[in-house]
Amino acid sequence: MRPRECSAAAAHGTAASLVATLPRLRELHGRTVVVVAGDHVLADKKLRHAFCGDIGFLRYSGVRPPDDPAALRRHVAGHVQRGLVGSLGDHTTLAVGITGEDGRTLVLRGEADVQVDPGVVRLFLDTGRIPIVSSVAYDSGGGIQLLSAVLAAVALAATLQADLVLPTGTEGTFPATAAVVDMSVPHAVLRHLYRLDDAGESGLGTALGG
């Protein structure tokens, strides 16, 4: 096959793949999806770049994607969050980093009781931004607590009535409707949400959209 023919075949395949996603694009348009990046994404530059490309694509395809990275406090609102926001900058200028302290978005009332004030997150979502929410919260006494990313994400998704995407190996309590995907696979989020193939899906929970 000649180079031009190869290029045309590749373009045809890409176009066909995009058209095939239209039913899911319609289903997901306007919905909010909370995604936990997970350790693979945070530790691997190439996976982080692919993950951020997925998040950027979701935003421009009409999905509202808050992301919830987890790390120690000295990193979570600094190095880790800046890394994700910076990587998203390769795909979109719409990412903004916040912590659960901002606007008292997250307040830990008990061992696993997280109160969510979604005002700041919704403000960013409604203005087309992608909030990167660090899982740092106030406690009921006004102190600072480090929450697990899963605990924060579950509470945030429930309050926002959002779909929830978690990495494989996730520990803790989360809804059966949450999607669990293998974040060590590049573009696992898009592959799952748009049902491009069965890779990256653990079989736990149900596919988003039912």
Model pLDDT, residue 68: 75
pLDDT tens digit sequence for 94-151: 899 898 999 999 999 988 899 999 999 999 999 999 999 988 899 989 898 988 889 9
Band the pLDDT of 86: cuts 50, 70, 90: confident
Q: How far apart are CA 90 and CA 143, in angstroms?
A: 36
- What does pTM read for this prediction? 0.79
Is the confidence at residue 198, as pLDDT, over 80? no
Q: φ and ψ at 87, to 5 degrees? A: -65, -40
Is the confidence at residue 76, as pLDDT, over 60? no
Q: How far apart are CA 197 and CA 127, in angstroms?
A: 32
User: Cβ of 116: how many Cβ atoms within 10 Å?
Assistant: 20
Model pLDDT, residue 12: 72
pLDDT tens digit sequence for 151-181: 999 999 999 999 999 999 888 889 999 999 9
Strand partners, 130: 95
Residue range 61-76: mean pLDDT, rounded: 65
Q: How far apart are CA 146 and CA 185, in angstroms?
A: 28
Q: How far apart are CA 114 and CA 92, in angstroms?
A: 31
* Lowest-confidence segment of 28-32, 81-85, 181-185 by average pLDDT: 81-85
Is the confidence at residue 50, as pLDDT, over 80? yes
Residue range 35-51: mean pLDDT, rounded: 89
Apex CA 127: angle with CA 121 and CA 132, to 5°? 40
Apex CA 12: angle with CA 185 and CA 184, to 5°? 0
Model pLDDT, residue 46: 93
